[in-house]
């Protein structure tokens, strides 16, 4: 009995220890890993063959339904002519903003009023008719060097235009044409309080769109760095208050505005300091790609825009009558050189991006045929300029600071560096095109820290609040030019590939591949979402979004009417779920028809469309908005119109007829 | 010593048991949950406050970088006029296909050859100039009732047009205009071998675009259900081999083609059997939304297209000279009724979608002012037609089968049922607009199984291979019309919201919210990705994508040339990384310039753009393709051109000048 007892005791002791062990072991593991409810998720992970890293990535980018993104990225659409709005980290596209290209879902370019915006300010006959653009560099408006969430600017490389987007309604409010030439690249870059929007030209042309043979290239072809004055209160660029600095025909590329330590300066690079003029058929001349890649060094353009502004205020400029007969203030190259508004320093080789560090102390240039990020010191540059310490002048008389007297460091990062962005921990991230990597390096020590392969051919790179005086870190996006095999094939034209990189840890982590379904983005900027204060509906019923105030043509419910004045029929209409008033519009063949359609809804998302068969008309009329339709009823017949936004259960019944009576 | 030994032994035994317990406990838990490597992922899940369900959803939709989607969804873009290509389950948008709306990134409508496609076949003066459309229903081509991955068809509701997209290169190959009227809705639906593409009209107009006052509505206004003949070998619709069945002016809505048990039939519904004609200004008439919602029953149109085809073959049709003077074969309403090509049966109330079950036995109608999915039996319908068992005729003489003699069941599913799709386990899923739910019910028992709330106002619904004779199950997508608060606000115009629903388990699970950034999708179809065999580059260098064969204008490297014929300058050019040949093109003011630019690349993704400043020209020339540019050099000056696709490190150097010499 005693033995049994002892045995039992001993066993009980052991069993107790065993179960304590079981519990301890269970708790131990479950504390580190997870509780039961996650079982199924992990089963799925295993079944799908997801690595632990993939699971991490999934969780970092996933947004439970209904949860919003922390950051909003504004990306250029390239030759789609639009701006792409993307949520980060979910990498979901929230909107394509119609900018230079008509877009019917938004009614952009179909409404009679916004069509005028698209035709532009200061635009000649050719450019007023454009229906596309090559948007390259979006720039958010800034206050004290920080994004303020009010406006977005973007340039059209193909036609030297600039657009202003109002971030209250995410709609384009202005398109301006540069009367000096047809080509930019860097646009847009803003000065730290958006005093000016900087637009450098790219392919040099005879100033003001004149004709000159290529044999007169050096004499007659010129570049320009334009400073467009922005009236923030009006939300408009004012061409009359803007000016340009004439520069040599070196094919300027991107720019960046100085800030803090370098406030008052702008920096632009160039890549055809050889002044190559290309290869006509049968000519022994080299192609541009060879002719423009001869020199080991091109010129970083250092522009003192504060001083330029003073000169312009004093009337020290020439007035150029440019394309379309529009006048523009230009500081001639000779004056710019003499006054040291324009100063050069050498930059290696065929550079692309120039990026100013958050503190404004360093100017980083990526030489696309070089292997370094070249870092210039604003302190050294300023000192050389003040002391008149120049190594010489170029053939146009522009003073050149000695390379060694302006440069601080050259960070060896690999072949084909293009652009550099910054985080909040003193690191810089450079896109390296030929190597297809993101290179992370340290500001100050100028040491390369890490390289992360991306897929493939990275062009630009964007960081959270990355172009401000206070970047946020956390996320970097690689804007890859080619996707090749990363997605299901959708024909010979492939999507680009945006890759989201988590930079919060010691090592960069690639967490997501995102195809770009329309457009070829160049640059992008990323803003904290809570800095944006967009409207959910227009502030008042009867709103004109073009001028952002009440329209005199808004119509109240019950006051709808049709008025004829000569051959013009004015229709004052309303739209509400689920009818237009009036539903029947009778006109005569040849009448001009003007319709003002007020969406009298106040509910969020209660947009109505207005589509008219045959007549190429489709509006998107958001709650409160007045849409404007204008056309000539050139053809007799019966033309149905209807609401093109699925608004209600009786949406299909929200329709009517335009009846055009034939001439006798 | 013995006691110590015993104690030690006992403790050792206990300790051993303890550690065995620890190991057992650890293994026990780690087997159910996961191993250490997943720790970090679960920490992230906890830190982000993700529920176990959210973690599951994340893993189901996440795609490790570089991994492709299992399904491809083709969605209409609504009034954007495009088609949206989406990967499932990642819900990433892979491409926007330019269809009816010019799109510069693809060069769609900018290339001189594809501009002609956009102008259309059988199109009148007004419709040849359209630059938008309201795309509603995409339909994949079928073989034996299964998607074959070859073509995609889509209709333009606003202008009664139809487009054909070739899925080898995801480009639009044909646009046809319906000469009978300006409005459709349901287009496109295909017969089980894509013999015909079905396009029903929506808002009735006087046949052939004539004028008639609304007072003659019943006499002169008509609808039409068009059967467009598709020549699969040519990949083109042949208007001359197509025909339409004239139908009463009841505002037809969606259709579906019968299959298997119902092969040879098509089913379309209608929603203004009241023949309401709307409310002119000051009139006491009711609005359409009221006038067209009076009857408790409208008419399901049952069309025997096989018999119609025979009649047409026998010459038993009238030839209507329609809009633009184009002739079209029409089976008159009287003949259609007499020959029982057109038969009605009542359908409750203001129906929207009509959907045929995979086996073809059941026709499901959603009455948007009803609370049921009404299920008709093809067996019963056929029997009634064969026996001439009709309850009467409508005012146009169309025989009407008694409701009870055609209907099989009415599934009570909630307020505002619109569309129904099917899975592989005998379930149907109906979108319920007013309730904002997806209702799952069982075919055969006709029992409601489950309702899942969606966000918000679901219109259509799509299922994996859902419209075929063999649906795949797995995924359903809710195409919600409103997103309201689901995403970060991007101004008063909100994105739509596609929600991915996992239907593989017993319960439906909402796994993802996807914003639609451009367009207002109506219907979508989902195909298994491996059924698509798209090209990654064009088959040969010198390819003309419009006709899908070698172009006579392709240019080999070294054979580039400029030829003048009178006032026309022909440029035979090539594009290769990183130059155009020729780079310099000199013409005289007023010359017509025609450029054939061959992309001689064979590497996947090596697309070149061709952008020309000022002249509204931008092409996308994929590897092998010949792009065609045509314009009049109306303005003297120097116009840069360049490659608008970032193709290489020396992409910016891939440029040239068009030099237009002024007239003396």
For B314-348, the DSSP string reads TT-SEEEE-GGG-EEEEE-HHHHHHTTSEEEEEEE
Chain A residues with beta carbon closer than 8 angstroms to that of B661: 211
State residue A31's pLDDT score.
46
A632 and A505 assigned to the same domain:
no
How sure is the predictor about B42, in pLDDT bands with cuts at 50, 70 and 90?
confident
With contact defined as beta carbons under 8 Å apart, do B554 and B542 qualify?
yes
Report if residue A538 sits inside a domain.
no
B203 shares contact with chain A (CB less than 8 Å): yes
CB contact under 8 A, A59 and B41: yes
Closest CA to B141 of B131, B133, B132, B152: B152
Q: How many structural domains comprise chain A? A: 3
pLDDT of residue A16: 66
Q: Which positions ≥6 away from A9 have C-beta within 8 Å? A: none
Count of alpha carbons within 13 Å of A587, Cβ hemisphere only? Answer: 27
Nearest Cβ partner for B182 among A160, A292, A613: A613
Q: Name chain B contacts of A277, Cβ cutoff 8 Å.
A: 584
pLDDT in tens, B92-125: 999 999 999 999 999 999 999 999 999 999 999 9
Question: Is pLDDT at B473 greater than 70 in this prediction?
Answer: yes
pLDDT tens-digit profile of B342-364? 999 999 999 999 999 999 999 99
Mean pLDDT of all residues in A581-605: 98
| Alpha carbon distance B105, B619 (integer Å) | 7
Measuring CA to CA, which residue among B231, B169, B271 is closest to residue B534? B169
Q: Which of the four pLDDT bands, split at 50, 70 and 90, describes residue A26? A: low
Report the Cα A107 to chain-centroid distance in Å: 21
* B105 occurs within a structural domain: no
Of the pLDDT bands very low, low, confident and very high (cuts 50, 70, 90), residue A178 is very high
Q: Does residue A498 sit in the same domain as residue A602?
A: no
Tally Cβ neighbours within 10 Å of residue A319: 9
Asked if residue A149 belongs to a domain, the reply is yes
Q: What is the pLDDT of residue B185?
A: 86
Chain B window 603-642: which residues touch A at a Cβ cutoff of 8 Å? 604-605, 607, 609, 611-616, 618, 620, 622-625, 634-640, 642
Q: At what angle do helices B2-32 and A2-32 cross, to 10 degrees?
A: 40
* Cα-based angle A444, A450, A452 (whole degrees, multiple of 5): 135
| Vertex A54: Cα angle to A53 and A57 (nearest 5) | 90
| pLDDT tens, residue by residue, A325-338 | 999 999 999 999 99
- What percentage of chain B has pLDDT greater than the value 70? 94
Question: A-chain residues within 8 Å CB-CB of B511?
Answer: 65
Q: Extract the tokens encoding A364.
A: 């980083």
For B2, phi then psi, to 5°, come to: -60, -45
On whether any CB of chain B is under 8 Å from the CB of A37, the answer is yes
CA A189 to chain centre: 10
Residues 407-436 of B with CB under 8 A from A: 416, 433-434
Mean of all residue pLDDT scores within chain B: 94
Same-domain check for residues A482 and A615: no
User: Could you tell me if B646 and A433 are in contact, meaning their C-beta atoms sit under 8 angstroms apart?
Assistant: no
Chain B contact for A325, CB < 8 A?
A: no
Residue of B8, B152, B161, B638 to mutate when probing chain A, most A C-beta within 10 A: B638
Give, for B26, the enclosing helix (H) or strand (E).
Answer: helix B2-32
> Does residue A185 surpass a pLDDT of 90?
no
Count the helices and strands in chain B (H runs, E runs): 10, 45
Alpha carbon distance B402, B404 (integer Å): 6
- Residue to substitute from B5, B79, B599, B647, interface A, most A β-carbons within 10 A: B79
* Mutation target vs B (from A460, A544, A652; most B CBs, 10 A cutoff): A652
| CB atoms inside a 10 Å sphere around CB A445 | 11
Beta-carbon count within 10 A of B322 CB: 23
Of B488, B534, B657, the CB nearest to A489: B534
pLDDT at B644 over 50: yes
- pLDDT of the residue at A49: 87
Q: Select the residue of A26, A278, A538 nearest B583 (Cβ to Cβ).
A: A278
A648, A626: one domain: yes
Q: What is the CATH number of the domain that holds A120?
A: 2.130.10.10
Query: Got the DSSP string for A177-203?
Result: E-TT-S-BSS--EE-TTSSEEEEEB-S
How does the average pLDDT of chain A come out, rounded? 94
What are the tokens at B662?
């002024």
Spatial CA neighbour of A227 closest among A133, A306, A338 = A306
Q: Which of A19, A457, A536 lies nearest to residue B492, judging by beta carbons?
A: A536
Based on the fold, state whether residues A627 and A495 are members of the same structural domain: no
Which residues of chain A make contact with B459, given a CB cutoff of 8 A? 646
The predicted structure's pLDDT at residue B32: 45
Is residue A358, in this structure, part of any structural domain at all? yes
Give the pLDDT confidence score for residue A218 in this predicted structure. Answer: 98
pLDDT tens profile B396-421: 999 999 999 999 999 999 999 999 99
Structure-block tokens of residue A40: 């199924």
Higher pLDDT, B369 or B25: B369
Cα A68 from chain centre? 21
Looking at beta carbons, which residues of chain B come within 8 Å of A210? 637-638
**Residues B610-642: tens digit of each pLDDT:** 999 999 999 999 999 999 999 999 999 999 999
Which residues on B lie below 8 Å from A600 (Cβ)? none
Whether B447 and chain A come into contact, CB under 8 Å, resolves to no
Longest dimension (CA), chain A: 125
Tell me, yes or no, whether A301 and A374 share the same domain.
yes
**Closest chain B residue to A79 measured between Cα atoms?**
B105
Mean pLDDT on A70-90: 98
- Residues of chain B contacting A368 with CB distance shorter than 8 Å: 649-650
Provide ipTM, 2 decimals: 0.94
- Is residue B350 one of the residues assigned to a domain? yes
Residue B33 pLDDT grade (very low, low, confident, very high; cuts 50, 70, 90): very low
Q: A18 and B15 in contact by Cβ < 8 A? A: no
Look at residue A578 and tell me if it is in a domain. yes
Q: Is residue B107 one of the residues assigned to a domain?
A: no
- What confidence score (pLDDT) does residue B524 get? 98
Contact A132/B at CB under 8 A: yes
Q: Supply the angle between the helices B52-61 and A52-61 in degrees, to the nearest 10.
A: 110
Contact B269, B368 (CB under 8 A): no
Final residue in a domain of this structure, among B61, B86, B112: B61
Taking 80 as the threshold, does the pLDDT of residue B36 lie above it?
Answer: no
Q: Residue A43: what pLDDT?
A: 86
Asked if residue A525 and residue A556 are part of one domain, the reply reads no
For residues A32 and A174, state if they share a domain.
no
Query: Which residues from B are below 8 Å from A38, CB to CB?
Result: 33-34, 42, 45, 52, 55
Q: Does A590 touch chain B (CB under 8 A)?
A: no
**What are the φ/ψ torsions at residue B413 (nearest 5 degrees)?**
-125, -10
The confidence score (pLDDT) of residue A383 equals: 98
Counting residues of chain B whose pLDDT is more than 90, the rounded percentage is 89
User: Is the residue at A117 inside a domain?
Assistant: yes
Q: What residues are paired with A69 via a beta bridge?
A: none
Interchain CB contact of A490 with B (< 8 Å): yes
- The band of A33, judged by pLDDT with boundaries at 50, 70 and 90, is very low
Tell whether B5 lies on the interface with A, counting CB pairs under 8 A.
no
Smallest CA–CA separation between B474 and chain A, in Å? 15
DSSP string across A100-130: SS-BTTTTBTTSHHHHHHHH-BS--TTGGG-
**Measured CA distances, A152 to A162, A186, B491, B658 (Å):** 11, 15, 14, 32
In this complex, the residue of B32, B281, B579 whose CB is nearest that of residue A561 is: B281
Same domain, A103 and A181: yes
Q: Do residue A587 and residue A633 come from a single domain?
A: yes
Q: Dihedral (C-alpha) A153, A157, A161, A166: value to the nearest 10 degrees?
A: -20
Q: Transcribe A491-503 into DSSP letters.
A: SSSPPEEEEEEE-
Strand B236-247 to B327-331 pairing = parallel
With beta carbons under 8 A apart, name residues in chain B contacting A102.
Answer: 102, 131-132
Rg over alpha carbons for chain B, rounded to the nearest Å, is 30
A530 interfaces chain B, CB cutoff of 8 Å: no
Three-state SS at B243? strand
Torsion of CA B7, B12, B17, B23, to 10 degrees: 150
pLDDT in tens, A209-253: 999 999 999 999 999 999 999 999 999 999 999 999 999 999 999
The pLDDT value recorded for residue A11 is: 64
A31 at interface of B, judged by CB pairs closer than 8 A: no
* pLDDT tens profile A635-657: 999 999 999 999 999 999 999 99
Within B79-214, residue ranges assigned H as helices are 112-119, 125-128
CB of A115 less than 8 A from some CB of B: no
Q: Give the number of other CB atoms < 10 A from CB of residue B290.
A: 16
- In whole angstroms, give the CA distance from residue A7 to residue A283: 105
Question: Which residue from B minimizes the CA distance to A578?
Answer: B289
- CA-nearest residue to A108 within chain B is B80
Q: Given this model, what pLDDT does residue B187 score?
A: 87
To which residue do tokens 């209600």 refer? A648
Residue of A nearest to B104 (CA): A80
Do B211 and A21 lie within an 8 Å CB cutoff? no
- Last residue of one domain, picked from the residues A502, A531, A560: A531
> Using a CB-CB distance cutoff of 8 angstroms, which residues of chain B are in contact with residue A125?
635
Read off the tokens for A557: 């419910």
Cβ <8 Å between B28 and A44: no
Q: Mutate which of A24, A44, A79 to test chain B, going by most B C-beta atoms within 10 A?
A: A79
| CATH number for the domain that contains residue B602 | 2.60.40.420
pLDDT band at A9 (very low <50, low <70, confident <90, very high): low
Which of these three, B13, B36, B61, is where a domain ends?
B61
Q: Are residues A428 and A476 in the same domain?
A: yes
- Residue A450's Cα: distance from chain center in Å? 27
CB contact under 8 A, B492 and A169: yes
* Domain span including residue A274: 71-531
Count of CB atoms situated within 10 Å of the CB of A258? 25
Q: Say if residues A372 and A412 touch (Cβ distance below 8 Å).
A: yes
* Cβ atoms B292, B284 nearer than 8 A: no
Nearest neighbour of A21 by CB, restricted to B22, B323, B623: B22
The answer to whether residues B57 and B188 belong to one domain is no
Counted across chains A and B, CB pairs separated by less than 8 A come out at 640
* pLDDT reading at B28 higher than 60: no
């Amino acid at each position: 009995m005693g033995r049994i007892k002892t045995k039992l005791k001993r066993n009980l002791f052991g069993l107790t220890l065993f179960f304590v062990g079981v519990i301890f072991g269970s708790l131990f593991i479950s504390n580190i890993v997870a509780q039961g409810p996650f079982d199924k998720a992990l089963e799925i992970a295993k079944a799908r063959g997801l690595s632990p890293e993939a699971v991490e990535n999934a969780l970092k980018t996933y947004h439970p339904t209904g949860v919003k993104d922390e950051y909003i990225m504004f990306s250029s659409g390239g030759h789609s002519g639009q701006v792409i709005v993307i949520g980060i980290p979910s990498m979901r596209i929230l909107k394509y903003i119609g900018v230079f290209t008509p877009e019917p879902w938004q009614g952009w370019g179909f409404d009679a009023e916004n069509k005028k915006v698209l035709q532009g300010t200061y635009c000649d006959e050719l450019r007023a008719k454009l229906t596309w653009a090559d948007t390259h560099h979006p720039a958010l408006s800034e206050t004290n060097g920080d994004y303020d969430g009010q406006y977005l600017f973007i340039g059209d490389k193909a036609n030297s235009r600039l657009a202003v987007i109002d971030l209250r309604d995410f709609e384009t409010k202005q398109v301006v044409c540069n009367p000096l030439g047809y080509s930019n690249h860097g646009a847009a870059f803003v000065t730290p309080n958006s005093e000016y929007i900087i637009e450098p030209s790219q392919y040099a042309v005879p100033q003001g769109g004149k004709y000159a043979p290529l044999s007169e290239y050096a004499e007659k072809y010129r570049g320009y760095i334009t400073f467009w004055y922005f009236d923030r209160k009006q939300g408009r660029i004012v061409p009359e208050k803007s000016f340009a600095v004439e520069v040599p025909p070196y094919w300027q590329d991107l720019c960046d505005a100085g800030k803090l330590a370098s406030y008052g300066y702008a920096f632009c690079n160039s890549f055809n300091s050889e002044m190559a003029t290309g290869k006509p058929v049968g000519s022994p001349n080299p192609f541009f790609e060879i002719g423009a890649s001869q020199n080991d060094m091109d010129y970083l353009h250092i522009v003192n825009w504060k001083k330029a502004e003073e000169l312009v205020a004093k009337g020290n400029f020439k007035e150029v009558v440019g394309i379309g007969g529009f006048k523009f203030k230009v500081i001639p190259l000779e004056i710019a050189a003499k006054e040291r508004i324009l100063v050069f320093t050498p930059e290696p080789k065929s550079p692309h991006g120039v990026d100013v560090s958050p503190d404004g102390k360093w100017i980083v240039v990526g030489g696309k045929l070089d292997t370094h990020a070249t870092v210039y010191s604003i302190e050294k540059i300023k000192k050389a300029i003040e002391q008149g310490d120049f190594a010489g002048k170029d053939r146009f008389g522009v003073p050149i600071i000695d390379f060694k007297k302006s440069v601080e460091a050259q960070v060896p990062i690999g072949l084909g560096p293009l652009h550099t962005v910054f985080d909040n921990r003193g690191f810089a991230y450079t896109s390296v095109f030929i190597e297809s990597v993101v290179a992370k390096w340290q500001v100050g020590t100028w040491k390369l820290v890490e390289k992360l392969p991306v897929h493939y051919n990275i062009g630009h790179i964007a960081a959270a609040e990355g172009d401000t005086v206070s970047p946020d870190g956390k996320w970097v996006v690689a804007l890859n030019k080619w996707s090749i095999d990363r997605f299901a094939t959708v024909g010979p034209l492939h999507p680009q590939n945006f890759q989201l990189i988590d930079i919060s840890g010691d090592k960069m982590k690639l967490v997501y591949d995102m195809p770009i379904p329309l457009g070829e983005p160049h640059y992008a900027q990323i803003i904290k979402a809570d800095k944006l204060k967009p409207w959910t509906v227009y502030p008042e019923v009867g709103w004109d979004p073009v001028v952002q105030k009440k329209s005199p043509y808004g119509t109240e419910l019950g006051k709808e009417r049709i008025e004829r004045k000569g051959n013009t029929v004015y229709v004052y209409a309303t739209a509400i779920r689920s009818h237009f008033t009036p539903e029947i519009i009778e006109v005569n063949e040849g009448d001009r028809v003007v319709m003002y359609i007020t969406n009298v809804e106040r509910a969020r998302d209660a947009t109505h469309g207005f589509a008219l068969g045959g007549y190429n008309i489709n509006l998107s009329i958001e709650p409160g908005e007045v849409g404007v339709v204008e056309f000539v009823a050139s053809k007799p017949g019966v033309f149905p119109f209807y609401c093109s936004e699925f608004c209600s259960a009786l949406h299909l019944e929200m329709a009517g007829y335009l009846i055009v009576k034939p001439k006798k």
